[in-house]
């Protein structure tokens, strides 16, 4: 079972999300929390696989709660940001904070459940529309920061650039004429060398180092 904690200040939203996820045979909602402070306090002891975190909440917002939870070495949960606000700064801020995904609350029930499974499986939830907003938010080109990429091989840089553009493993494989197993090995090496947790952090780093710019999105 995938254990999920829902954190949202609106009771109706918490209840609705809970009903959707509890209807899934492989998902269990272990707690519903009202604000980010409660999440920081309870998530370490609850030990869920996934936290659905609202962005705007009283006491402590979801971005700050995400930063604190991601920095807590005892927390293994992956965090998906949920918001009704489809605003550029939230996309980037959520990924920088350490979130593994970003979804609007208007997302269809089946998409929500699949998102939880995706993140619980260790993948980042980076829908093309979210990536497009992230790319568009970076309207100015960033000079290539070779220092942060110095430990990568040329092939690993190629792989990271494609990840930054939102390519899946199979798309990277096709673009570089590599077996998918080889792509996965390259990604493992990239994450280890750059101390990255998942693809979401890899995407952020690709933009921040100038490896991917607005004109690179396909």
> What integer pLDDT is reported at residue 139 of this predicted model?
45
| Cα–Cα distance for residue pair 15/21, rounded to 1 Å | 10
* Higher pLDDT among residues 101 and 184, named by residue: 184
pLDDT at 166 over 90: no
Distances (CA, A) of 172 to 63, 101, 161, 166, 205: 31, 20, 10, 10, 18
Give the residue-averaged pLDDT of 101-110.
Answer: 81
Same domain, 163 and 56: no
Indicate which CATH number applies to the domain containing 207.
1.10.10.10
Identify the domain boundary among 69, 92, 125. 125
pLDDT at 85 over 70: no
Most confident of 157-161, 166-170, 193-197, 206-210: 157-161
Indicate which CATH number applies to the domain containing 14.
3.40.50.2300
CA 170 centroid distance within chain: 19
pLDDT at 92 over 50: yes
pLDDT at 189 over 90: yes
Identify the domain boundary among 63, 90, 125. 125
Same domain, 6 and 113: yes
Residue 120 lies in a domain: yes
Positive or negative torsion for Cα 95, 99, 100, 104: negative
pLDDT at 29 over 70: yes
Same domain, 9 and 79: yes
> What integer pLDDT is reported at residue 137 of this predicted model?
58
For the chain, percent of residues with pLDDT exceeding 90: 44
Residue 33 lies in a domain: yes
* Tens digit of each residue's pLDDT (9 = 90 or more) over 123-150: 777 655 666 666 565 545 556 667 888 8
pLDDT at 43 over 70: yes
> What integer pLDDT is reported at residue 214 of this predicted model?
59
Residue 130 lies in a domain: no
- Least confident among 36-40, 52-56, 90-94, 96-100: 90-94
pLDDT at 196 over 80: yes
Residue 133 lies in a domain: no
Distances (CA, A) of 178 to 14, 75, 166, 182, 217: 44, 35, 17, 6, 21
Domain enclosing residue 164, as ranges: 140-216
> What integer pLDDT is reported at residue 188 of this predicted model?
92
Residue 163 lies in a domain: yes
Same domain, 18 and 55: yes
């Amino acid at each position: 079972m995938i254990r999920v904690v829902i954190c949202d200040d609106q009771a109706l939203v918490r209840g609705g999300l809970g009903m959707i996820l509890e209807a899934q045979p492989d998902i269990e909602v272990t707690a519903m929390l009202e604000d980010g402070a409660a999440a920081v306090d309870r998530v370490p002891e609850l030990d869920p696989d996934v936290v659905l975190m609202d962005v705007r909440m009283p006491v402590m917002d979801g971005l700050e709660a995400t930063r604190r939870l991601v920095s807590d070495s005892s927390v293994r949960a992956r965090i998906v940001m949920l918001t009704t606000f489809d605003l550029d700064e939230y996309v980037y801020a959520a990924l920088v904070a350490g979130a593994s995904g970003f979804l609007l609350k208007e997302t269809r029930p089946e998409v929500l459940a699949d998102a939880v499974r995706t993140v619980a499986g260790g993948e980042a939830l980076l829908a093309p529309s979210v990536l497009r907003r992230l790319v568009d938010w970076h309207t100015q080109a960033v000079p290539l920061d070779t220092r942060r990429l110095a430990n990568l091989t040329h092939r690993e840089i190629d792989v990271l650039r494609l990840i930054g553009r939102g390519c899946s493993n199979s798309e990277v494989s096709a673009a570089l004429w590599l077996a998918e197993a080889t792509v996965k090995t390259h990604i493992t090496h990239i994450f280890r060398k750059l101390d990255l947790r998942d693809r979401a952090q890899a995407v952020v780093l690709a933009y921040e180092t100038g490896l991917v710019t607005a004109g690179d999105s396909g």
